[in-house]
Structures are given as C-alpha cells and as structure tokens.
Amino acid sequence: MEILGIVAFVVALLLSVMVHEFGHYITARRFNMKVTEFFLGFGKRLWSYRRGETEFGIKAIPAGGYCKISGMTPDDQMEPGEESRAFYIARSSKKLIVLGAGSFLHFVLGILLLFVLLAGVGVNSLTSVVKEVVPESAAVVAGFQQGDEIRSINGEEIKDWARGVDLIRSANGAALGFTVERDGQIVELQATPRLTDVGGEKRYVLGVVNEIGTKRLGILTAGKDSIVITADMAVQSVKSLALLPTKIPQLWGQTFGGETRDANGLVGVVGVARVSGETIASGDQNWSQRIGTFLLIIASLNIFVGIFNLLPILPLDGGHMAVAIADEIRAFFARLRGRPRPAPINVQVLTPITAVVVVVLIALTLLLLVADIINPISLNG
C-alpha cells in the first residue's frame, strides 16, 4: 500500500511539472514565440511526436521537464524570417507573463486541489453528536447523554459545532436552551455552562466531547476558503525560504551528526514521497482522510514550488523575470535622457552567477536526498 502512495506522488509530481511547462508553452504560443520542444523528463528520448513546429515527448529521467522557447538569448540562432519570434526581443511585459505562467498555474492547481479537498473529499471536523459526557460537568446536570445530537442552542440551528462553542462561551455562564435529538426523539434541555480551566485559560464549557466526522463545504465557501488557504500557504512558503540558510546547518547535523530529524525542517522529494506513501498506507485513517491528506500534500508542494520558482535568481523563472524588469528600468532611464532603448540584457553574461546557483541547488538537493535516506522524516516516528 505504501508503494501505491509513492507511485501516486510521483505521478502527481510529474503532472505538476507538465502543468508548469504548459503555462510557459501556452503563453509563448499566444505571443507568437517559437516553441520547438515540450518534454517531460531529461536525457534519452523515449517517445515523441511532432505537432506543428513543436515536438512533444517523454525522456528517460523523470526529474522534471522543459519547454524550449527559441531565442532566449541574442546568441541563439533563429531560422531566416523568424527572427521576430525570438523570446529576447519580445516586450518585457510579454516576457514576464511567459516566465510567470508556470508559477501561476502551480497556484491555480493548488487552489483546485484544495477545492476538491474541501468540497468533495471533506475535512475532519467536530460534529454536533456527543461522544462523551464529562463527569461532574454542566452537561451531566442538564441530562446530556452519549449519542445526543445537538440541533440548536437558544433557538439557533447548529450546523457547525464551532458556532456552538462560540454560543456557549459568549453566554458567560448564562443558562442556555438546547434542542437535542435522541434516538429519533426531540428532547429539550437546559444547561448552565461552567467556568473551567482549559489549558491554563478560564473558559465557559458545557462538558461534552463531540465526535469527529467528515465535513464537506458548499461550493462558494470551498472556493473562497481554498483561495485563503493558498494565500496562507504562500506566505508560509516565503517565510520558509527566508529561513532556508539557517536550516542547512541543522540539516547537516541531522544527516551526519546523529541528531533527531526536525519534522518541520527541510525535506526533499524522496522524503515527501515517503510521507505520501505512509499517508496512503496509514491504518489510523479512513480512505477519505488518507486521500484528503494526500491532496493537501500535493497542493502545498505546488504552492511551495510556485513560490520557489519566483525567487529572483538564475536559472529560476524569477531570475529571468528580474532580468526583464531590469531591462525596463534601463529603458526608462534611457527615455529620461532622450536616448534610444538599450539592447536587452544577455543572460549568458551572467553565466558564472548562474553556475554558482546551480551548484548550490545541486548540493542542497543531494544533501536532502542523503538525509531522506539516512535519517528520514516519518509520520510514525
């Protein structure tokens, strides 16, 4: 079963890569840029077919994918008569759209996955059904029993137990009327919540422990909440990336120094795949909960990758976007001075910087790979 989860993760990851590259492809074609290749994977070509001027296919190493746009730099040779279709001579606004389309679709995919989770699969939520009545509580005095379903409080229908908790706390110790369904019969109860110490904080409580069930949100609520959650995940991703330099020494110690692996620390693709496998194989969750957790993992991964790709460093999309923005700033100052627009920045002159970044990213990837193998993060440990 764990293998099934790992395979599902790999498939989801490759589909996410396809979505990212499709963003580049569709926007480049929209602006009449020439796209010659669209491949999933790297290395030896396993299969391909040509549609128009673009070759689509699969390569042997499933470690990503790419969309090859002609004329990324002034040194790229364009076919005679197609020089105007080169990427580097396009307006900066078009470049930014093409470059940012990949990350944009990661965010869209994240929102869609969260929407499916909230509206389709459902999320764990406290229900209004009483699982346990706390001894010597207000609920005992009022006559609550296990299995009671609280239908309303003071005449207000309870569809979400979070609202029930709000009503109980905001009553500030005043008596409340409860309409309860018990064995198919409607029972009216009166209870006075008691001020109780909960985790060091004084709160008015009824004294019941409610059952946990699966709750599906309405389409509009799920749509709104999926956007809000995506925004929150994006903010957390930015914070995580800002703390990345401080976590690398910790990861080194956890990998080679025998330190306990931080569940909230850095994790690589292998680690996420392992967690996905454990999620699907978990005997502590039903299938709805397993699928929901898996969707949440894939959604958060897409949002993180979307943010990561926007970092203003080459060779990431964000680095190329920074170059396009720099082109516009240079053009702006040229206009102020009455000078012609300067030639676009040739990213190849930044190759030494790009090479350093690539080496750092490869080193970090290898460190994460070793960490995930030697000292893996596990849901069960």
Half-sphere exposure (Cβ direction) of 286: Cα atoms closer than 13 Å: 8
Q: How far apart are CA 2 and CA 282, in angstroms?
A: 8
pLDDT in tens for each of the 381 residues of the chain?
A: 678 888 888 889 989 999 999 999 999 999 999 999 999 988 999 999 999 999 999 999 887 889 999 999 888 888 888 899 999 999 999 999 999 999 999 999 999 999 999 999 988 888 899 999 999 899 999 999 999 999 999 999 998 888 999 999 999 999 999 999 999 999 999 999 999 887 778 889 999 999 988 888 889 999 999 999 999 999 999 999 998 888 888 888 888 877 777 767 788 887 888 778 877 777 667 778 888 889 999 999 999 999 999 999 998 999 999 999 999 999 999 999 999 988 888 888 888 888 998 899 889 888 888 888 888 776 554
pLDDT for res 283? 64
pLDDT for res 381? 46
Give, in words, the CATH class of 124-215.
mainly beta
pLDDT for res 304? 95
What's the distance, Cα to Cα, between the start and end of the chain in Å? 18
Q: Using a cut of 0.95, tell me whether the model's pTM lies above it.
A: no
Q: No. of H helices and E strands in the chain? A: 10, 10
Please, where are the H alpha helices in 312-350? 317-336
Helix (H, G, I), strand (E, B) or coil at 290: helix
Q: What are phi and psi of 47, to 5 degrees?
A: -160, 145
Contact criterion met (CB below 8 Å) for 254 and 375: yes
Compute the radius of gyration of the chain from its Cα atoms: 28
pLDDT for res 273? 83
Select which of 21, 79, 83, 328 is catalytic. 21
Is 21 tagged catalytic? yes
Q: 3-state SS string over 172-226?
A: CCCCEEEEEEECCEEEEEEECCEEEEECCEEEEECCEEEEEEEECCCHHHHHHHH
Contact criterion met (CB below 8 Å) for 179 and 151: yes
**Domain boundary assignment for the chain:** 1-34+70-122+219-381, 124-215
**Cα dihedral sign for 227, 230, 236, 237?**
negative
